[in-house]
């Protein structure tokens, strides 16, 4: 809807406000009088709201003349503006971090808290970043598409949020990435699509009864979607042979190695460590370094994993959980139980908190004489 209004001439901020007002009106009226064409109804109401706001501002008489005519009557075009809107939000005048935050909030539908968690910053900091981004593009024509790398980052974060939350959000990220892959000749786009497909293939096995979190090593691999895995691997292989390695291709290669193992015990952890080394070289990310410590612990033993963990900032989310796992495997159950409890206290989701609480209780049970 925002994309439709922007295409008709609305600036981004005004389009966003008008759409929000239309949605509020829909909540009030649809239960008693649902429209035959919900999209057409919403666009029509949002467009009228925008025109009303434009007419009300005397200082925008020139703009009013350009947008005052009602659009032609008839059905709303079926074209999908979502991907285009992702690029427009990644405006060239915005720093990448601000463009990502704005797009996630305005187009991806994530809350400010969710975006802040994904970027490891306080919610208030992220709220200020989004507000500054809106002010910076206020009044600018949204006719200059932004950076492909920024759009890929946004799609990646939307998928991650959907993968751990609402199914349709993950599916929407895959749909848009498929569109982008069909429009571009960039291996990293294919790498991101492969990564999404490989992760999405495991979705059905990630939770048990009552939403209970099931770790990768305990998942029922018979429930993995082999068609999605095969598609993801084929897309990844085609991208890798082009010899333009990027972070999404490296992440997809790690996911493919997990998908290729018939059981957790058969996982090729040595090769996974090698891919984490490549990923660390590409990104320098502390989260990658944390995940690499887990892989090192599996490939070379828990003591080697703890040595790798010593190079990681202990303030990172999931650090206590990773440390607990490695200390348990090393035989230090007292420390492992305490770290599992610490990790549970810091967990940002109920399934994760419950899982870590159960792990702490399990290890404490092992300590009983």
pLDDT tens for each residue of 126-136: 898 888 888 88
Average pLDDT, the chain: 85
Lowest mean pLDDT among 153-167, 188-202, 338-352: 153-167
68 band by pLDDT with thresholds 50, 70 and 90: very low
Q: Is the pLDDT of residue 143 over 70?
A: no
109 band by pLDDT with thresholds 50, 70 and 90: confident
Residue with the larger pLDDT of the pair 220 and 92: 220
pLDDT, one tens digit per residue, over 284-307 is: 999 999 999 999 999 999 999 999
Spatial separation of the C-alpha atoms in residues 259 and 302, rounded to whole Å: 23
The model's pTM: 0.75
Q: Is the pLDDT of residue 77 over 80?
A: no
Q: Tell me what the mean pLDDT of segment 237-251 comes to.
A: 96
Q: Tell me what the mean pLDDT of segment 250-262 comes to.
A: 96
Q: Is the pLDDT of residue 241 over 80?
A: yes
pLDDT at 268: 96
Q: Between helices 96-106 and 82-89, what is the axis angle to 10°?
A: 140
- φ/ψ region of 103 (left if φ > 0, alpha if ψ in -120 to 50, else beta) reads alpha
Q: Is the pLDDT of residue 166 over 60?
A: no
For the CA atoms of the chain, what is the radius of gyration?
24
- For 246, the token pair is 């990027």
Cα–Cα distances in Å, from 273 out to 132, 158, 276?
40, 26, 5
Lowest mean pLDDT among 64-73, 79-88, 125-134, 359-368: 64-73
1, 19 in Cβ contact below 8 A?
yes
pLDDT, one tens digit per residue, over 8-63 is: 777 777 888 889 999 999 998 899 888 888 888 898 888 888 877 776 664 444 44
Q: Tell me what the mean pLDDT of segment 63-91 comes to.
A: 57
pLDDT at 106: 77
Phi, psi of 237 (to 5 degrees): -60, -40
pLDDT at 315: 92
Spatial separation of the C-alpha atoms in residues 279 and 246, rounded to whole Å: 8
94 band by pLDDT with thresholds 50, 70 and 90: confident
107, 85 in Cβ contact below 8 A?
yes
124, 216 in Cβ contact below 8 A?
no
Q: Is the pLDDT of residue 107 over 80?
A: no
Q: Tell me what the mean pLDDT of segment 120-126 comes to.
A: 85
């Amino acid at each position: 809807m925002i994309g439709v209004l922007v295409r008709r001439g609305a600036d981004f901020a005004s389009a966003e406000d008008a759409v929000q007002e239309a949605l509020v009106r829909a909540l009030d009226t649809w239960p008693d009088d649902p429209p035959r064409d919900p999209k057409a109804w919403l666009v029509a109401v949002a467009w009228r709201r925008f025109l009303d706001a434009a007419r009300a501002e005397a200082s925008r008489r020139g703009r009013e003349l350009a947008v005052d005519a009602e659009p032609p009557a008839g059905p709303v075009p079926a074209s999908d503006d979502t991907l285009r809107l992702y690029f427009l939000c990644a405006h060239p005048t915005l720093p990448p971090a601000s463009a990502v935050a704005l797009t996630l909030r305005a187009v991806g539908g994530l809350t400010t808290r969710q975006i802040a968690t994904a970027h490891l910053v306080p919610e208030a900091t992220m709220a200020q970043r989004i507000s500054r981004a809106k002010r910076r593009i206020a009044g600018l024509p949204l006719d200059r598409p932004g950076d492909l790398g920024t759009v890929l980052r946004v799609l990646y974060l939307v998928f991650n949020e959907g993968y751990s939350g609402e199914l349709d959000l993950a599916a929407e990220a895959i749909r848009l990435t498929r569109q982008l892959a069909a429009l571009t000749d960039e291996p990293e786009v294919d790498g991101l699509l492969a990564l999404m497909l490989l992760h999405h293939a495991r979705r059905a096995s990630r939770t048990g009864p009552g939403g209970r979190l099931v770790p990768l090593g305990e998942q029922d691999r018979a429930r993995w979607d082999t068609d999605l895995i095969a598609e993801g691997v084929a897309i990844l292989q085609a991208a890798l042979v082009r010899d333009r390695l990027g972070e999404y291709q490296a992440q997809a290669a790690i996911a493919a190695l997990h998908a290729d193992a018939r059981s957790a015990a058969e996982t090729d952890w040595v090769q996974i460590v090698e891919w984490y080394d490549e990923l660390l070289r590409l990104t320098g990310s502390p989260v990658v370094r944390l995940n690499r410590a887990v892989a090192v612990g599996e490939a070379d033993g828990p003591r080697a994993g703890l040595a790798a963990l010593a190079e990681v900032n202990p303030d990172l989310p999931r650090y206590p959980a990773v440390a607990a796992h490695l200390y348990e495997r090393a035989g230090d159950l007292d420390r492992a139980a305490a770290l599992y409890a610490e990790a549970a206290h810091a967990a940002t989701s109920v399934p994760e908190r419950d899982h870590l609480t159960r792990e702490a209780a399990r290890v404490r049970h092992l300590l009983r004489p």
